[in-house]
Structure 1
Amino acid sequence: MKTSLRTLLILTLLPLMFQNSAAAETANSPIHWGIKRAANEIPAEAGKPLDQLLERYDAFYKGDPSKKDIYLTFDNGYENGYTGQILDVLKKENVPAAFFITGHYLKTAPDLVKRMSDEGHTIGNHSWHHPDLTKVSDERLKEELETVRSATAELTGKKQMVYLRPPRGIFSERTLALAKQEGYTHVFWSLAFVDWQTNRQKGSDYAYNNIMKQIHPGAVLLLHTVSKDNTDALESVIRDLKKRGYTFKSLDDLRMEMVIQERMLY
C-alpha cells in the first residue's frame, strides 16, 4: 500500500517538476536585442512581444514618438583616448548623456568616471566583468551589478545607480526580473550601428550619416566611446539635430515621462 501511494505521488509530481523546469528555462532563454531600424524619422520598432515584455519590467528603448527628444548614451568597456574629448563637446553644447561603465573601465579610468559624475551626466551599470548575464547565477548577477554600483559610489559620492545596459544586449525575462528586484531599469536603444571596431574606423562622415539616417523622435542613441568616428562627428551631430528641432534630454527625464504617462492611463 505504501509503495502504491509513493508511486502515485511520484507520478503526480513529475509533470509539475517538468513544467517548472520548462518554465525556468523559458524565463531564462537568451534574447539578443534587435530592432527594425528607424527611417525617415519613423521610430524604430522591436515588435509587440518584446514591447510587452519590456513593459512588464519597466524597461525601455525609446521615448515618446510624438516628441522630438533625444537620449544620448555611451557604452564604456575600456578607454581608448576619446572620452575626454566627448565630455568636452557635451559640456560645450550643454547636452546630458548617460555612460554605461564596466569594472575594467572603472578601474582604469577613474578620473573620467569622476568627471562624468561631476559634470552632471548619468552613470549606468554595464556589469563588472561584461558577461552574458543569462549564463550566470542569480547571485553572480547581483554581484556583477553591486560591485560596479558600490565602487562608483565610493569614487563619486553618489550612491544611486538605477540604469542597466546588459552586456552585448543579451538578456532574458529572468535577468529583467532580477535587475528590477535590485532597483535597476534596463535601458536598450533604438539607434545604433557598427562603431566599436577600432581598427575599422571609416571617418566622421560614417558616424554622422548613420546617426542622421536613423534619427527619430524619442530616439535612445547607443554610441561607443572607443570610436574616433563618433568623437569627431559628435559636435556636428548635436548642432545639426538641434537645428532640426531636437532636444537632448537625460534618462531621468525619459523615466519621469514614462511614469507620468502610466499614471495618466489609470
Structure 2
Amino acid sequence: MAKINKTVALILVTFVALGSGVAYKITSSQNVENQIVQESTVISETTSHTETITDKKEQQKPEENLAQEIKTEENVTESVSKNGTDNEVVNNPVQSTLSNEKMGWYYKPNKEHKLPEVNAQGKILLEMYRGIYHGDSSAKNLYLTFDEGYENGYTAKILDTLKETNVKAAFFITGDYLRRNPELVQRMVNEGHVVGNHTDNHPSLPTVDNTKLEKEISSLSNAFSQQTGAKMQYLRPPMGEYSERTLKLTHEMGYRNVFWTVAMVDWQPDAGTPESNKNTVKERLHNGAVILLHAVNKANADMLGSLINECRDEGYQFRSLNEIN
C-alpha cells in the first residue's frame, strides 16, 4: 500500500468510516503529517487495537493470526477508506446472499451532549440485528465499557475503583487475555461485571468465513464458561469492523454486538493525562452514552474514580449493558 505523500498539491477531504470517530483523509501542499485525523474527531478503533497489539507484540507473543492484523496508522487509514468497496473475504470467499461489505464503526462527537451522528447504514443494521451503540436516552444513563487487548497492570486498580464506587462495567476480552489473566477475569465475574467476547485471535470479522468466525467466538466463550461458569452474551467486533453477514451470524449465535458513542485516543498506555482524558469523556457525554475506554491506559485508571464522581454530581447514573432492551 503506497505511503501518503505529504507534498501532494491537491487538497482532498473525504469522510472516512473509521472505528470510533469520523475522520478526514487529507492531502495537501503543506506538511500534513499530523492532519490525517482532525482533533475534533476520534481515531478509529481499527487503529486503536492494532497499535495496542503492536506496542506489546513482543512482550505478549500474541497468536500468529492476531499478529497478521497489525498495520501502520497510514495503512489503516487507507484500507478503511476503501471499506465501501472491500467485500472480499481473505483466502476463503463466503457463500452467502447477505452483504459482506466491510464497514468500520464511527460517530461524530459533539459538545452539545446530544446523541451523536453515526454511520447511517450501520445504524439500520444494528436495529435489524439487535446491536447496541447507546442505551436508554430518556434519562441521564451511562454505560461504561473497557476493551482488554492485553494486561498492562491497571485492570486491578480499575476493578478496585469500580468496587469502591459501586459501578458495574463491561470488559471485552480476547482469548489471549483470558489465558494470561484468568484471575482478573474471574474477579470481573465475581464482582458482577459483564465480560464480553472480543474473539479469540482478534481478526477483522468480515475477512473470515462463517466457520472461522464461529470458531473465533465459540472457542473463547467455551473457555470462559469452563473457567468461570458464566456465559458471554455481548460481542465487540475487533477493530470495530463488521458487515451485515457478521451481524446476522453473531446475532444467530446469541450475541448482541456492542459499539459506542463516546471514545478517545487512549489505546496507547501513556496517551493523555488523567485530567485531559476525563475532560474529553465529559465533553462528549449524553443521555444513554456507551463509553469505550482502554484499560491499558494509565491515565484512564488514575482518573476513573474522579470521572465517576463528577458524572454523578451532574446527575448521571451508571447502568449495566444488561439493562439495555
Q: Which runs of 4+ in 1 moved over 2 A?
A: 21-26, 47-50
Question: Partner of 1:50 in structure 2?
Answer: 122
Quick one: percent identity of the two aligned structures? 45
Structure with greater Cα Rg: 1
Q: Distance in 1 between matches of 2:273 and 2:184?
A: 25
- Contact in 1 for aligned 2:131/2:256 (Cα 8 Å): yes
**Pairing 1:170–2:241 present:** yes
Q: State the secondary structure of the residue aligned to 2:108.
A: coil
Aligned residues: 233
Instruction: Tell me what 1:230 maps to.
Output: 300
| Deviations, residues 84-138 of structure 1 (Å, cap 9, x unaligned) | 0000000000000000000110011110000000000000000000011111110
RMSD across aligned C-alpha pairs, in angstroms?
Answer: 1.7
CA distance 1:28–1:118, change in 2 (3 Å): same
SS at match of 1:27: coil
The one of 189, 192, 195 equivalent to 1:120 is: 192
Alpha-carbon shift at residue 48 of structure 1 (Å): 3.7
- Residue 71, structure 1, aligned to residue 154, structure 2: no
| Structure 1 position 42, deviation (Å) | 1.1
1:32 corresponds to:
104
- Which digits, 9 at most, give the CA deviation of each residue in 1:200-238, with x for residues without a partner? 422111211110110111000000100001101100000
Decide whether the 8 Å contact of 1:38 with 1:191 is kept in 2.
no
Residue identity in the other structure for 1:163: Y
TM-superposed deviation, 1:45: 2.1
Task: Tell whether the 8 Å contact from 1:36 to 1:44 is kept in structure 2 after alignment.
Answer: yes
Give the structure 2 partner of residue 152 of structure 1: 224
Greater relative contact order: 1 or 2 (C-alpha under 8 angstroms, separation 6 or more)? 1
Could you tell me how far apart the structure 2 residues matched to 1:122 and 1:150 are? 16
Determine helix, strand or coil for the equivalent of 1:226: coil
| Equivalent AA in structure 1 for residue 279 of structure 2 | N
2:152 alignment partner, SS class: coil
**What residue identity is the alignment partner of 1:237?**
L
Aligned residue for 1:242?
A: 312
Please report the TM-score for the alignment, with normalisation by the length of structure 1: 0.84
Shift of 1:60: 1.4
Conserved in 2, the CA contact under 8 Å of 1:76 and 1:102? yes
Distance (whole Å) between structure 2 residues aligned to residue 73 and residue 202 of structure 1: 19
Contact 1:41 / 1:217 at 8 angstroms: preserved in 2? yes
In the TM superposition, 1:9-20 aligns within 5 A as: none
Q: Tell me if structure 2 keeps the 8 A contact 1:38–1:216.
A: no
**2: distance between equivalents of 1:236 and 1:164?**
28
CA distance in 2: counterparts of 1:22 and 1:250, whole angstroms: 35
> Structure 2 vs 1, CA of residues 124 and 171 (structure 1 numbering), >3 Å: closer, same or farther?
same
Unaligned stretches of 5+ in structure 1?
1-20, 259-266
Distance 1:252 1:96 in 2: 10
Give the equivalent residue in structure 2 for 1:4: none
Match of 1:193 in 2: 264
Mark the runs of 5 or more structure 2 residues left unpaired by the alignment.
Answer: 1-92
- Aligned amino acid, residue 42 of structure 1: K
Larger helix percent: 1
- State the Cα distance separating 1:25 from its structure 2 match: 8.1
Aligned residue number for residue 44 of structure 2: none
Aligned position for 1:6 = none
> Aligned in 2, Cα 1:36/1:157: closer, same or farther, shift over 3 Å?
same
Once residues 90 and 65 of structure 1 are traced to their aligned partners in structure 2, the CA distance between those partners, rounded to angstroms, is 23
TM (norm. structure 2) is 0.69
Deviation at 1:49, TM superposition (A): 2.9
Offset, 1:47 = 4.4
Aligned CA distance change for structure 1 residues 240 and 59 (closer, same or farther; 3 Å): same
